């Protein structure tokens, strides 16, 4: 099985004339269609809002597209808050979900009027000391511990995760926050990552809805929203069945009707914080074959490296590769597709069956629209590549220029040696 790129070979050949490889390319049409589908899937909930996980793809041009569909920003750091403010996200359009949080981050979140989601019960006093008060609307992150299963499949191990409060802690936190003046409460949880099943969100919803009923009953706190966070994944491998967001939305609605409505909590808003699902399939890394090597294995060296997309290097993650123009040719060659870093794990594919690759061939590395560029780094002095938007009309827009050596050396500009390097 294979994946079809959202760009043709002919289009790509024109694009690379203007933007040298490697670069990340994004599909505006796909992004818009997906955002509309998500909005429709949860339209049954009057207060529904998606808070896009800025960490996944921190590009203001892309986030502004999502804003057109009512999306807010999920931030976890000072600079993500700055980015959100710069594109006009204000007040409760920002959800600040962080951990091990510096005081200055809390102060900026408070100044912007963001909804603050506390990761730990000890952060209540820390927050109050940092900003001088407790916000009237506040959220707490929950971790039920143990192993999270769907049917007999283990999805993840929340008990081994550093995030969130225990059951006892979240009850205590609600009581303390209520005593300190909080009036509206939210619950947040993230129990599994990149799930490719329509069952995850409804099961998570049931856990959180039942918790919400208990919390409101036992603490008297008014639950304003329940944030299902992220976790809806994408099919990185071509033989995987993609999630159906409409089926997922309907599954959550049924649990909502079964648990919250009978408890008199039919006014609770549902929030999500999706990143990978929103943009992952609608971005790719475009690179060119520049070397071939024949030793104990067959290698194809490309001009991208793990600094452009590190998931395969650190997780052994699978990203499908299309050799443009050779989609219908037999995959009768076995290659390691490598970058140029001085690390042996700098490989986009290991023992991957592909068509014969010739020097100069353009390769599309799929599903790099989230946790791709954003996880980039400068090891070996590698410079971050450009980001380009393929617009609905077929034209392109540069939405982030490639780094230059001047950018790389800019943090030395306070020293004489640095002034010489950045000339």
**Active site residue ranges:** 342
In this structure, are strands 283-294 and 72-75 parallel, antiparallel, or unpaired? unpaired
In this structure, are strands 269-272 and 49-53 parallel, antiparallel, or unpaired? parallel
Chain-centre distance for alpha carbon 69: 17
Contact 378, 29 (CB under 8 A): no
The separation between the first and the last C-alpha atoms of the chain, rounded to the nearest angstrom, is: 50
What sign does the CA torsion over 348, 351, 352, 358 have? positive
Q: Which two tokens stand for residue 184?
A: 């509206």
Q: Which of 275, 269, 278 has its CA nearest to residue 49?
A: 269
Contact 290, 12 (CB under 8 A): no
Contact 101, 81 (CB under 8 A): no
Compute φ and ψ for 323, nearest 5 degrees: -90, 110
The residues that bridge with 222 in the sheet, in sequence order, are 184
The residues that bridge with 270 in the sheet, in sequence order, are 226
The residues that bridge with 153 in the sheet, in sequence order, are 150
Contact 73, 93 (CB under 8 A): yes
Compute φ and ψ for 18, nearest 5 degrees: -100, -35
Rounded Cα distance, 301 and 322, in Å? 15
Chain-centre distance for alpha carbon 107: 24
Residue owning tokens 């599994």: 192
Residue 411 DSSP symbol: G
Q: Is 298 left (phi over 0), alpha (psi -120 to 50) or beta?
A: beta
Contact 144, 134 (CB under 8 A): no
**Cβ neighbours of 380 (radius 10 Å):** 14
DSSP reduced 3-state for 224? strand
How many residues can be counted in the chain?
A: 423
């Amino acid at each position: 099985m294979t994946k079809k790129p959202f760009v043709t070979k002919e289009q790509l050949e024109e694009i690379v004339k203007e933007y040298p490889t490697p670069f990340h390319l994004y599909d505006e049409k796909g992004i818009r269609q997906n955002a509309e589908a998500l909005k429709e899937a949860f339209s049954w909930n009057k207060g529904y809002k998606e808070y896009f996980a800025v960490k996944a793809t921190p590009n203001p041009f892309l986030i502004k597209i999502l804003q057109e569909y009512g999306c807010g920003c999920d931030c976890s750091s000072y600079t993500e808050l700055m980015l959100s403010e710069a594109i006009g996200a204000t007040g409760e359009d920002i959800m600040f979900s962080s951990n091990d949080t510096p005081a200055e981050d809390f102060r900026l979140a408070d100044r912007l009027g963001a909804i603050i989601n506390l990761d730990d019960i000890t952060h209540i006093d820390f927050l109050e000391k940092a900003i001088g008060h407790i916000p009237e609307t506040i959220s707490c992150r929950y971790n039920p511990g143990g192993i999270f299963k769907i049917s007999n499949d283990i999805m993840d191990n929340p008990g081994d995760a550093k995030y969130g409060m225990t059951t006892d802690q979240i009850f205590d936190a609600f009581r303390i926050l209520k005593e300190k003046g909080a009036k509206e409460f939210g619950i947040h949880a993230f129990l599994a990552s990149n799930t490719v099943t329509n069952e995850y969100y409804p099961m998570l919803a049931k856990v959180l809805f039942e918790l919400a009923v208990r919390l409101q009953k036992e603490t008297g706190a008014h639950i304003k929203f329940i944030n299902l966070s992220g976790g809806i994944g994408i099919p990185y491998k071509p033989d995987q069945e993609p999630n159906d967001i409409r089926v997922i939305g309907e599954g959550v609605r049924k649990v909502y009707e079964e648990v919250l409505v009978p408890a008199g909590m039919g006014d609770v808003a549902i929030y999500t914080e999706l990143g990978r699902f929103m943009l992952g399939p609608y971005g790719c890394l475009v690179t060119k074959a520049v070397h071939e090597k024949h030793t104990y294995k067959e290698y194809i060296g490309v001009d991208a490296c793990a600094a452009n997309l590190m998931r395969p290097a650190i997780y052994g993650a699978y990203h499908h590769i299309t050799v443009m123009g050779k989609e219908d040719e037999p995959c009768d060659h076995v290659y390691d597709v490598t970058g140029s870093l001085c690390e042996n794990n700098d490989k986009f594919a290991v023992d991957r069956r592909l068509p014969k690759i010739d020097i100069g061939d353009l390769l599309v590395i799929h599903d790099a629209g989230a946790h791709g560029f954003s996880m980039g780094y400068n090891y070996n002095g590698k410079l971050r590549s450009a980001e380009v938007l393929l617009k609905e009309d077929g034209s392109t827009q540069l939405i982030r220029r490639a780094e230059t050596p001047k950018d790389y050396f800019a943090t030395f500009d306070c020293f004489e040696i640095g002034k010489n390097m950045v000339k």
